Amino acid sequence: MLAYTYIERGRFALTEKPVPALKDPRDALVRVTLGSICTSDLHIKHGSVPRAVPGITVGHEMVGIVEQTGADVHAVKPGDRVAVNVETFCGECFFCRHGYVNNCTDPDGGWALGCRIDGGQAEYVRVPHADQGLTRIPDNVTDEQALFVGDILATGFWAARISEITPDDTVLIIGAGPTGICTLLCVMLRQPRRIIVCEKSEERAHFVRSHYPTVDVVRPEECKAFTERHSTHGGADVVIEVAGADDTFRLAWQCARPNAIVTIVALYDRPQLLPLPDMYGKNLTFKTGGVDGCDCAEILSLIAQGKIDTTPLITHRFPLRGIEEAYRIFENRLDGVIKVAVSTQTT
Ligand SMILES: [Zn+2]
Ligand SMILES: [Zn+2]
């Protein structure tokens, strides 16, 4: 089968590999129908994910059809159309039982697919702990509608869930990249009084304005003043930081009102300064990433009800054989790209 492979630092290539075999009774084999490219894939390519193993097939955003299941898989069966979760988790350890599946202590726990074990930019993928890692897609939900359920949409849903948003709140979301927009969609479900999105790219700001006209969009340099002016208590009640740029952590806590919740979804390249003397008396609560991706069934049900739609994020479509070009466009943010869909069916 064709598999997009991490060859060495700086280089991925489409290679021929055998179809994966089940290794454990809890495994399932999934025929990938549609996948995507995530910024984390680029981090692997650039060598900034040390635990990524050269030779592995990359890709951790995909949907497909169950081809084969191990004897201990009960939640799905061959023929089921499924969303694949970016996180592998056992469902039984202390962390899993408390919903903290990102910290699952299983050897395959956490982000393994497309990082430490073969992922889904390929025709087939082996999914460990399939009962936890696969979720059946409702019949009225298309592959494109379900494509982001297991990764960036799970992240947005989790961020909105842990941020304790109430109807009286002004919520500030910093960053309108793909994960920021997924976060926005999940925050909108909670119907806070006002949502402000801070984004420096004019193209992405325009995307938010045109698709979500009830949302205020501001540039970083006007964000603090705007947020103060348009919130009831001198700052945002909830800030969700999804940008991960050099100044956005500082912006996040500066825009928060006293006693606000500041949720950090972003993955930073560098350590960030927490200047406690400057924020003394502000009594902030910080919550940090990464995602506990255990809400996929609920998210799919919301998509089926028409309450979440991430399909506008798919700006480009490629066959698996054209994945090199898909990476070139996604990596260099060409042609207004937000997310690409990579289809294996037309190869
Ligand atoms: Zn990802
Ligand atoms: Zn676990």
Assess whether 205 and 249 both reside in one domain: yes
Ligand nearest to the CA of 89: 2
| Torsion of Cα atoms, 137 then 143 then 149 then 152, to 10° | 170
Q: Are residues 122 and 45 in the same domain?
A: yes
Each residue's pLDDT tens digit, 272-319: 999 999 999 999 999 998 899 999 999 999 999 999 999 999 999 999
Residues whose CB falls within 8 Å of the CB of residue 33, separated by 6 or more in sequence, listed in order: 63, 64, 65, 81, 143, 343, 344, 345
The percentage of residues in the chain with a pLDDT greater than 90, rounded to a whole number, is 96
The alpha carbon dihedral of 37, 38, 41, 42 has a sign of positive
- How close is the Cα of 296 to the center of ligand 1, in Å? 15
Tell which of 288, 313, 328 closes a domain.
288
Give dist(CA 127, CA 310) in Å, integer: 24
Centroid of ligand 1 to alpha carbon of 87 (angstroms): 10
Domain's final residue, options 288, 303, 334: 288
Q: Which residue has the tokens 């960030």?
A: 272
- The DSSP code for 57 is B
Span from the CA of 232 to the centroid of ligand 1 (angstroms): 35
Tokens read off for 274: 């927490």
Rounded distance between C-alpha atoms, residue 300 and residue 69, angstroms? 22
* Ligand with an atom nearest the CA of residue 108: 2
Ligand with the closest atom to the CA of 113: 1
Record the tokens describing residue 11, joined without a space: 């280089």
CA distance 287 to 139: 36
Judge if 144 and 9 occupy the same domain.
yes
Distance, CA 48 to ligand 2 centroid (Å)? 26
pLDDT tens across 150-200, in order? 999 999 999 999 999 999 999 999 999 999 999 999 999 999 999 999 999
The pLDDT value given to residue 347: 42
Give me ligand 2 centre to Cα 97, in Å: 7
Query: Phi-psi category of 309—alpha, beta or left, where left has phi over 0 and alpha has psi -120 to 50?
Result: beta
Q: Report d(CA 228, CA 50) in Å as an integer.
A: 40
- Contact predicate 320/123, CB 8 Å: yes
Instruction: Looking at the CA of 96, name the nearest ligand.
Output: 2
How many residues in total does the chain contain?
Answer: 347
Say yes or no: 144 and 26 in one domain: yes
| Mean pLDDT, rounded, for 57-74 | 98
Reply yes or no on whether the pLDDT at 260 is more than 90.
yes
Region 75-84 average pLDDT: 98
Say how many Å lie between the CA of residue 322 and the centre of ligand 2. 36
| Domain of 266, in residue numbers | 154-288
Distance of CA 103 from the midpoint of ligand 2 (Å): 7
Question: How many angstroms is it from 194 CA to the middle of ligand 1?
Answer: 28
3-state SS class at 20: coil
Evaluate whether 159 touches 242 at the Cβ level (below 8 Å).
Answer: yes
Q: Which of the four pLDDT bands, split at 50, 70 and 90, describes residue 73? A: very high
- Supply the CATH number for residue 192's domain: 3.40.50.720
Q: For position 142, what pLDDT does the model report?
A: 98
Residues 164 and 271 both lie in one domain: yes
Residue 181, by phi and psi: left (phi above 0), alpha (psi -120 to 50) or beta? alpha
- Over range 84-90, report the average pLDDT: 96
Distance from residue 36's CA to the centre of ligand 1 (Å): 9
> What are phi and psi for residue 137, nearest 5 degrees?
-90, 125
> Per the structure block, which two tokens stand in for 162?
């842990």
Question: What mean pLDDT, rounded, does the chain reach?
Answer: 96
Ligand 1 centroid vs 113 CA: distance in angstroms? 10
Q: Tell me the CA–centroid distance for residue 243 and ligand 1, in Å.
A: 14
Q: Are residues 223 and 129 in the same domain?
A: no
Distance 186 CA to ligand 1 centre (A): 17
Domain count, the chain: 2
Q: Among 36-50, 153-167, 318-332, which is the least confidently predicted range?
A: 36-50
Ligand nearest to the CA of 107: 2
Ligand 1 geometric centre to CA of 77 (Å)? 26
Query: Of the ligands numbered here, which is closest to the C-alpha atom of 62?
Result: 1
**Do 217 and 303 share a domain, yes or no?**
no
Which CATH number belongs to the domain containing residue 122 in this structure?
Answer: 3.90.180.10
What percent of the chain stands above pLDDT 70? 99
Centre of ligand 1 from the C-alpha of residue 277, in Å: 35
pLDDT digits (tens, 9 = 90+) for 199-208: 999 999 999 9
14 and 104 belong to one structural domain: yes
Name the residues around ion ligand 1, CB cutoff 5 A. Answer: 38, 40, 151
Task: Give residue-wise pLDDT tens across range 93-130.
Answer: 999 999 999 999 999 899 999 999 999 999 999 999 99
State the ligand closest to the CA atom of 102.
Answer: 2
